[in-house]
Chain A
Amino acid sequence: MAADTQISGLYGLLTEFESPSVLVQAAAQVRDAGYRNWDVHTPFPIHGMDEAMGIRGTQLPFVVLAGGLIGLGLATLMQWWMNAVDYPFVISGKPLFGIPANIPVMFELTVLFSAFAAFFGMWGLNGMPKWHHPLFANRRFLRATQDRFFIVIEARDPRFRLHETSAFLASLGGSEVEEVKESAED
């Protein structure tokens, strides 16, 4: 069994569908079979796919909130340091550290850091940037941006067993199951 679960150089198993409706049903079956490291690839977004795949809510909002709070804190600290400590200078009788005057910068840095957190947080959670992906070497997969729909179960999934998973995928109503290698040189 050990050899069966850790086939060196295998990225995963791929199967191809011709219609989105079959794909949604197949995805629900993969979800119910308990797989975790798998994905579907489609040329366009499909309504109801999130649910069919059992995708849980993203953690990104918390990353964004943290980014925003850091921006807010930095803006406050920066203005306090510049205006009230490092170079105190009274302008038209205003307090050295007057909150109303600082709010625009606090607001802008909150927005900026939130945007950065959202953008780069999305990268991080999606495992980006990547130079290459094993699926790119697959010829059939080229049509994922045109008119074909794919399900890929990765070999690192804890439930992955080459023969069983292959048989399971074959039962979903797609095309023949194909092995995808980690790197094209193999």
Chain B
Amino acid sequence: MAHHHVPSLEDTKTTLDGLGGKVFAVSAAVGVIGLVVSIGLGLAEGDDLRHFGYSYLVNFAFFLAIALGALFFLPIQYVTKASWIIVVRRLVEVMAASLPVLALLAVPVVVLAGRIYGWAAPEAGSDPLLAHKVAFLSPRWFTIRWAIYFGLWTWLSFTFWRRSLAQDATGDLRHTHKLENFSGFALLVYALSVSLAGMDLLMSVDYIWFSTIFGVYFWAGGLVSFFAVLTLVTMGLQKTGRLTHIVSPEHFHDYGKLMFAFTFFWAYIAFSQYMLYWYANIPEETGWYLLRSGQGWGKVGMVVLFAAFLLPFAGLISRYAKRNRKMLAFWAAWIVVAQWINLYWVVMPEYSHDFVFSPMDVTLFFGIGGTWLAAITRLAMGRSLVPMKDPRLDDSLRFENA
């Protein structure tokens, strides 16, 4: 209603306070224990950490994609001058600013590259199909590229983070204008780096296979998980009495729309990739799908089709579902799991042509996820969870869907 009370920041808690220390301690402990246990499980396999490497790759790619989703969402808000998001934008900034920590977590992938990536294995040199690709797919170049990717992402995310925090103190409008100008350029850098990084990280596991759309596939999946995680984080904070009133069903409705839209977008990209290879039927192109549709992995592929696309699509299509808190929470959690299964299906068939699942896959999820959560909690501690002096904050508080 037009004449109802516009919520203000005084209505709620906008800092982590005591909660921050607790969440940090618990998630850091879970992260460290998870990583240590995983290394133990990996060594126990007696395969020189090969299985560990693949399992690590799945989970690292999963959390990296979420943080990259956040890094995409920030400049998009600035270039469109969107106001609805402001009240939760700090949460997005925190997730994006965690990228330097993910750079540390990327070290095992680079170190274990020889066990994960066929092109980095000592015996790969003789493969004629690799001969034309060695200039790009060499361990040294791979390492340098990851240094560049993380250098760029850290720079982008910290530019948003620093200026937003600086505005908290002064309310200076120039920060908003600078970031609006910066965002178009940031998106260009983002698109190129993330597209290449997706290919490096996941596509090159099978160096024979290639797909020009793969970077988009990686990015779109991560964006879906990011919206789901943002929904769950906001709901979690509200459960503890933070951000209540100011984040309304109107904002959650928009989360739902984005989750729904990008679920479809991800599926659209996934199918675009699949259909061309199905139609052309060229051996080096179809090999990737053949491996993932036969034996144990075909069933996992069907799970991905239903869990990551058809079911959430049907579940989130109605306005009612997007505005119903419980249903939205359910589908957000569902989507997180489904996107994880998707990455598992992308990576693991290269480790074993038969279906495998090990406790390590779960312990690494908690190991990397716990470390990541500890990092974002640490970043958010002692700071306002809302960009208090953003010029569009008032619009965001008043936001209503038409």
Residues of A within 8 A of B (CB): 21, 24, 45-49, 51-52, 57, 61, 65, 92-94, 98, 100-101, 103-104
Majority secondary structure of chain A interface residues (helix, strand, loop or mixed): helix
Quick check: A100 and B1 within 8 Å, CB to CB? no
Interfacial chain B residues near A93, Cβ < 8 Å: 281
Quick check: B3 and A100 within 8 Å, CB to CB? no
Quick check: B319 and A61 within 8 Å, CB to CB? yes
Given contacts A24-B3, A103-B271, 18 further A-B contacts (CB under 8 A): A21-B3, A46-B2, A47-B400, A48-B1, A48-B3, A48-B4, A49-B2, A52-B1, A57-B319, A61-B318, A61-B319, A100-B271, A100-B278, A100-B279, A101-B275, A101-B279, A103-B275, A104-B275
Interfacial chain B residues near A46, Cβ < 8 Å: 2
Chain A nearest CB: distance from B252 CB in Å? 17
Interfacial chain A residues near B318, Cβ < 8 Å: 61
Inter-chain CA distance A52–B2, complex, in Å, is 9
Inter-chain CA distance A104–B275, complex, in Å, is 9
Q: Is B274 an interface residue (CB 8 A)?
A: yes
Majority secondary structure of chain B interface residues (helix, strand, loop or mixed): loop
Quick check: B400 and A92 within 8 Å, CB to CB? no
Chain B nearest CB: distance from A151 CB in Å? 16
Interface size counted on chain B using CB atoms at 8 A: 15
* Complex A-B: 27 CB contacts under 8 Å: A21-B2, A21-B3, A45-B402, A46-B2, A47-B2, A47-B400, A48-B2, A48-B4, A49-B2, A52-B1, A52-B2, A57-B319, A65-B317, A92-B279, A93-B281, A94-B279, A98-B278, A100-B271, A100-B274, A100-B275, A100-B278, A101-B275, A101-B278, A101-B279, A103-B271, A103-B275, A104-B275
Inter-chain CA distance A47–B1, complex, in Å, is 7
- Interface residues as binary, B258-269 with A (CB distance below 8 Å gives 1, 0 otherwise): 000000000000
Chain B nearest CB: distance from A75 CB in Å? 15
Inter-chain CA distance A57–B322, complex, in Å, is 15
Identify the interface centre among B3, B274, B281, B318: most chain A CB within 10 Å of its CB: B3
Inter-chain CA distance A93–B286, complex, in Å, is 14
Inter-chain CA distance A62–B274, complex, in Å, is 31
Inter-chain CA distance A98–B1, complex, in Å, is 52
In the complex, the 4 A-B pairs of residues with the closest C-beta atoms, listed nearest first: A48-B2, A48-B1, A47-B2, A100-B278
Chain B nearest CB: distance from A100 CB in Å? 5
Identify which of residues 237-278 in chain B touch chain A, using a CB-to-CB cut-off of 8 Å: 271, 274-275, 278
Interfacial chain B residues near A92, Cβ < 8 Å: 279, 281
Partner among B2, B279, B317, B402 whose Cβ is within 8 Å of the Cβ of A24: B2
Inter-chain CA distance A93–B317, complex, in Å, is 37
Chain B nearest CB: distance from A32 CB in Å? 14
Inter-chain CA distance A121–B275, complex, in Å, is 34
Interfacial chain B residues near A45, Cβ < 8 Å: 402
Chain B nearest CB: distance from A105 CB in Å? 12
Chain B nearest CB: distance from A121 CB in Å? 16
Inter-chain CA distance A24–B3, complex, in Å, is 9
Residue of B nearest to A93 (CB): B281
Inter-chain CA distance A146–B274, complex, in Å, is 54
Interfacial chain A residues near B319, Cβ < 8 Å: 57, 61
Chain A nearest CB: distance from B67 CB in Å? 31
Residue of A nearest to B1 (CB): A48
Inter-chain CA distance A93–B281, complex, in Å, is 9
Interfacial chain A residues near B3, Cβ < 8 Å: 21, 24, 48
Residue of B nearest to A57 (CB): B319
Residue of A nearest to B400 (CB): A47
Interfacial chain B residues near A65, Cβ < 8 Å: 317
- A51 and B1 in contact, given A100-B274, A103-B271 (Cβ under 8 angstroms): yes
Inter-chain CA distance A104–B279, complex, in Å, is 12
Inter-chain CA distance A48–B1, complex, in Å, is 4
Residue of A nearest to B2 (CB): A48
Residue of A nearest to B272 (CB): A104
Residue of B nearest to A46 (CB): B2
Inter-chain CA distance A129–B1, complex, in Å, is 31
Inter-chain CA distance A171–B400, complex, in Å, is 31
Residue of B nearest to A98 (CB): B278
Identify which of residues 135-174 in chain B touch chain A, using a CB-to-CB cut-off of 8 Å: none
Interfacial chain A residues near B317, Cβ < 8 Å: 65
Inter-chain CA distance A122–B9, complex, in Å, is 40
Interfacial chain B residues near A47, Cβ < 8 Å: 2, 400
Inter-chain CA distance A61–B320, complex, in Å, is 11
Identify which of residues 1-51 in chain B touch chain A, using a CB-to-CB cut-off of 8 Å: 1-4
